[in-house]
């Protein structure tokens, strides 16, 4: 059972709730550092380390952190890990550190980290939380590497520094510059919209699928990136917690129905064969 839970968390972060492709969280670093596949991978792995460790610690301390001051507590924990990681990078990978620059300390305000702390680690035991962090981090790394690779191939003809495009290919420089990031993300969200529409037409629940901070910032706040520092609301009246609980309940329902659908789908396919 426990094994199942861990693999389920990893799978969930990598595919089902991929932070970039499905939830559309943490778009600032996604756009800024994906000028090459290597930078994307570096940023993804750095974020993964911070996410996994902060999830673990927050989950261990969840009984002791009062509900009212949980956001500042989360921020302090996350910021401590970011500082540690930054110092380690400065010492052992200085080239990556200079390439990522100010975006390393800015991991503190990455929506994904506060969002996972708020919606998963604060309500779940340490081990699943750790693997939730690793899964989400892996999903983020894969997404950043893919986006970085696409931009690098289109913009320079290289990937991870190896030249792979045919000799006649003229690199479209704009893709490694700032505007290219917006264009790639626009294409990505358009694809996401198309998939979402198809899924909705089939009657699947797509409420979880975000699209690049589409809605107002208020919904971004629900996911944890813009939140009041000190929540004066009583815990039972706190909309965020209630919402998280509701969404969890909904999630489990959705999972059950999806599992059933998948099973029936598999049966249909096999009968077709």
Partner 1 sequence: MNNIKTVRDLFILLVGSSLVSNVVLSQFLGLCPFLGVSKKIKTAAGMGAAVIFVITLASAVAGVIYKFILIPFKITYLQTIVFILVIAALVQFVEMFLKKAIPSLYEALGVYLPLITTNCAVLGVALTNVQKNYGIGTGVVNGFATALGFTIAIVILAGIREKMEHNDIPENFKGMPSVLLTAGLMAIAFCGFSGLL
Q: Which of residues 94-133 bind partner 1 (CB under 8 A)?
A: 101-102, 105-106, 108-109, 111, 114
27: nearest Cα among 184, 218, 256: 184
The CB-of-135 to partner 1 minimum distance in angstroms stands at: 24
Question: How many Cβ atoms from other residues are within 10 Å of residue 45's Cβ?
Answer: 18
Number of residues counted as binding partner 1 (CB under 8 A): 55
Per-residue HEC secondary structure of 128-147 comes to HHHHHHHHHHHHHHHHHHHH
Nearer to partner 1, 66 or 179 (CB): 179
DSSP 13-49: IIIIT-TTTTS---HHHHHHHTTSHHHHHHHHHHHHH
Does residue 189 interact with partner 1 by CB under 8 A? yes
Whose tokens are 């994904």? That residue is: 112
Quick check: 92 binds partner 1 (CB under 8 A)? no
Rounded CA gap, 131 and 62, in Å? 16
- Interface with partner 1 includes 88 (CB under 8 A)? no
> What are the distances in angstroms from CA 97 to CA 45, 89, 93, 200?
13, 6, 6, 42
Q: Residue 171, interface with partner 1 (CB under 8 A)? A: no
Q: Is 182 in the site for partner 1 (CB under 8 A)?
A: yes
Going through the chain in order, the beta strands assigned E by DSSP cover 158-159, 162-163
SS3 state of residue 197: helix
Q: Residue 271 CB, nearest distance to partner 1 (Å)?
A: 33
Only one residue has tokens 């049966």, namely 267
* Gap between the Cα atoms of 164 and 162, Å rounded: 6
Task: Take residue 242 and report the two structure tokens written for it.
Answer: 């209630």
| C-beta closer to partner 1: residue 120 or 175 | 175
* Binds partner 1 (CB under 8 A): choice among 67, 211, 238, 247: 211
Residue selected from 15, 69, 164, 191 as contacting partner 1 according to rule CB under 8 A: 191
Stretch 127-156: interaction string toward partner 1, x if CB under 8 A: ------------------------------
For partner 1, the binding residue among 15, 69, 72, 125 (CB under 8 A) is: 72
Work out whether 228 is an interface residue with partner 1 (CB under 8 A).
yes
CA distance 12 to 145: 18
Nearer of residues 7 and 219 to partner 1, judged by Cβ? 219
Residues lying near partner 1 in the complex (CB under 8 A): 27-29, 31-32, 72, 75-76, 79-80, 82-83, 86-87, 101-102, 105-106, 108-109, 111, 114, 174, 177-183, 185-187, 189-191, 193-194, 197, 211-218, 220-221, 225-230
């Amino acid at each position: 059972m426990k094994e199942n839970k861990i693999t389920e968390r990893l799978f969930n972060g990598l595919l089902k709730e991929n932070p970039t492709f499905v939830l559309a969280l943490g778009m600032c670093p996604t756009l800024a550092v994906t000028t090459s596949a290597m930078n994307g991978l570096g940023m993804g792995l750095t974020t993964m380390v911070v996410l996994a460790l902060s999830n673990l610690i927050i989950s261990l301390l969840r009984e002791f952190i009062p509900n009212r001051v949980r956001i500042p507590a989360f921020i302090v924990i996350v910021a401590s890990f970011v500082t540690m990681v930054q110092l380690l990078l400065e010492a052992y990978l200085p080239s990556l550190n200079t390439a990522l620059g100010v975006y390393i300390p800015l991991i503190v305000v990455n929506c994904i980290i506060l969002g996972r702390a708020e919606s998963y680690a604060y309500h779940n035991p340490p081990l699943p939380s750790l693997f939730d962090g690793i899964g989400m981090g892996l999903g983020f790394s894969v997404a950043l590497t893919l986006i970085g690779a696409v931009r690098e191939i289109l913009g320079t003809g290289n990937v991870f520094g190896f030249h792979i495009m045919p000799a006649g290919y003229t690199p479209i420089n704009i893709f490694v510059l700032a505007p290219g990031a917006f264009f790639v993300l626009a294409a990505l969200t358009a694809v996401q919209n198309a998939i979402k529409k198809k899924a909705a037409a089939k009657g699947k629940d797509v409420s979880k699928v975000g699209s690049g901070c589409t809605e107002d910032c208020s919904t971004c706040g629900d996911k944890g990136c813009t939140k009041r520092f000190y929540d004066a609301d009583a815990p039972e009246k706190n909309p965020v917690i209630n919402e998280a609980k509701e969404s969890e309940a909904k999630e489990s329902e959705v999972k059950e129905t999806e599992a059933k659908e998948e099973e029936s789908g598999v049966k249909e396919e096999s009968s077709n064969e």
